[in-house]
């Protein structure tokens, strides 16, 4: 494993072999997997993966995969995975209709469950080899939808994916609809703990940190490749360090949400600061950035609500 500090690695890589273009995810994937294999923590894998991305779409993919490994450390670094939560009504627990039910199979020596349902908007739908699926096991005594997370192979019998149309931005990242028809689940497929509290709820914070760090890794690459001012590169590394620090903290801690709000503001100012320098970048990459930077605004409202709740928590304590 790479023993260098990730910032030292970034600085040592600038200017080396960064002219290749990868118009399809499958062409970029080998470089990505080779790169992240050198790093022991998901956040450093996100940053390094973002750095070797030739477009924002792949930086997002690197951050997304790192987020899943932070959420579930047992996920292999050489596996592409997808979190399957959202359904037709959204991703809130009460909207999850996919069911997980115990079945009686006399020929089986261990318990067997069956999962049925439909998931919307699956990220990396074409490439994912592992799926993390949220399913309902019924209501708790207080009327809440009890969620169980399941990890299973994409090619398990009963699983199929319907491709979705490309988004108007990051079109290189595939999305799909997941159909689950009588998929058999064994005990080893069931992830421990409450599906909502331990997986779904913290994921948004984890994703914000790791995807943002990966995108800055990409921007640092562009800054070095096209000779942007050193103070821009320094700002990249400074904001990156903030995300890296928070990545090791409890994503459910309100203090983390407040600190993350401040770092995301710095990130937004950095994006504004670099805007004039995109004129120095070749048209293909510049136009892709203009098209794809809409991604940065996704979940802005959810972040705002989370930040407001975090401040309310400390104001009440005071």
pLDDT tens track, the chain, 318 positions: 455 799 999 999 866 556 788 999 999 999 999 999 999 999 999 999 999 999 999 999 999 999 999 999 999 888 999 999 999 888 888 999 999 999 876 665 677 999 999 999 999 999 999 999 999 999 988 889 999 999 999 999 999 999 998 889 999 999 999 999 989 999 999 999 999 999 999 999 999 999 999 999 999 999 999 999 999 999 999 999 999 999 999 999 999 999 999 999 999 999 999 999 999 999 999 999 999 999 999 888 889 999 999 999 999 865
What is residue 107's predicted lDDT score, i.e. its pLDDT? Answer: 60
Is the Cβ–Cβ distance between 220 and 58 less than 8 Å? no
Is the Cβ–Cβ distance between 83 and 203 less than 8 Å? yes
Is the Cβ–Cβ distance between 140 and 93 less than 8 Å? no
What is residue 187's predicted lDDT score, i.e. its pLDDT? Answer: 93
Rounded Cα gap, residues 56 and 288, in angstroms: 8
Rounded Cα gap, residues 30 and 50, in angstroms: 14
In the CATH scheme, what architecture does the domain 81-190 have?
Answer: Beta Barrel (2.40)
What is residue 109's predicted lDDT score, i.e. its pLDDT? Answer: 62
What is residue 106's predicted lDDT score, i.e. its pLDDT? Answer: 62
Rounded Cα gap, residues 145 and 137, in angstroms: 8
What is residue 167's predicted lDDT score, i.e. its pLDDT? Answer: 86
Supply 26's token pair.
């499958």
What is residue 182's predicted lDDT score, i.e. its pLDDT? Answer: 87
End-to-end CA distance of the chain: 45
Neighbour tally for 11: CB within 10 Å? 14
Q: 243-256 as b/e, with b when 16 or more CB fall inside 10 Å? A: bbebbeeebeebeb
Written as one string, the DSSP assignment of 111-126 is: -EEEEEEEEEEEETTT
What is residue 279's predicted lDDT score, i.e. its pLDDT? Answer: 97
What are the sequence ranges of the domains in the chain? Answer: 6-72+198-317, 81-190
């Amino acid at each position: 494993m790479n023993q260098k500090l990730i910032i030292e690695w970034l600085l040592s890589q600038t200017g080396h072999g960064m002219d290749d273009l990868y118009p399809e995810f499958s062409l970029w994937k080998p470089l990505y997997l080779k790169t992240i294999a050198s790093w022991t923590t998901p956040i450093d894998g996100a940053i390094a993966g973002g750095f070797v991305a030739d477009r924002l779409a792949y930086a997002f993919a690197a951050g997304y995969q790192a987020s899943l490994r932070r959420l579930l450390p047992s996920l292999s670094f050489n596996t592409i995975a997808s979190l399957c939560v959202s359904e037709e009504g959204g991703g809130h627990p009460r909207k999850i209709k996919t069911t997980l039910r115990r079945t009686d199979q006399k020929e089986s020596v261990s318990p067997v469950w069956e999962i049925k349902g439909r998931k919307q908007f699956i990220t990396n739908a074409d490439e994912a080899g592992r799926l993390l699926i949220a399913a309902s096991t019924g209501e708790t005594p207080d009327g809440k939808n009890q969620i169980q997370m399941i990890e299973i192979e994409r090619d398990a019998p009963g699983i199929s994916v319907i491709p979705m149309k490309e988004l108007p931005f990051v079109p290189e990242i595939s999305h799909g609809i997941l159909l689950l028809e009588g998929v058999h689940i064994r005990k080893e497929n069931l992830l421990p703990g409450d599906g909502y509290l331990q997986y779904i709820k913290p994921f948004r914070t984890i994703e914000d940190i790791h995807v943002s760090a990966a995108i800055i890794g990409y921007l640092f690459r562009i800054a070095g490749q096209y000779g942007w001012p050193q103070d821009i590169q320094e700002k990249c590394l400074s904001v990156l360090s903030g995300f890296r620090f928070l990545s090791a903290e409890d994503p459910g801690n309100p203090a983390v949400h407040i600190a993350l709000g401040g770092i995301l503001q710095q990130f937004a100012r950095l994006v504004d600061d670099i805007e004039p320098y995109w004129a120095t970048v070749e048209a293909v990459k510049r136009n892709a950035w203009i098209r794809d930077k809409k991604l940065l605004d996704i979940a802005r409202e959810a972040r705002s609500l989370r930040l407001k709740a975090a401040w309310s928590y400390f104001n009440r304590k005071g």
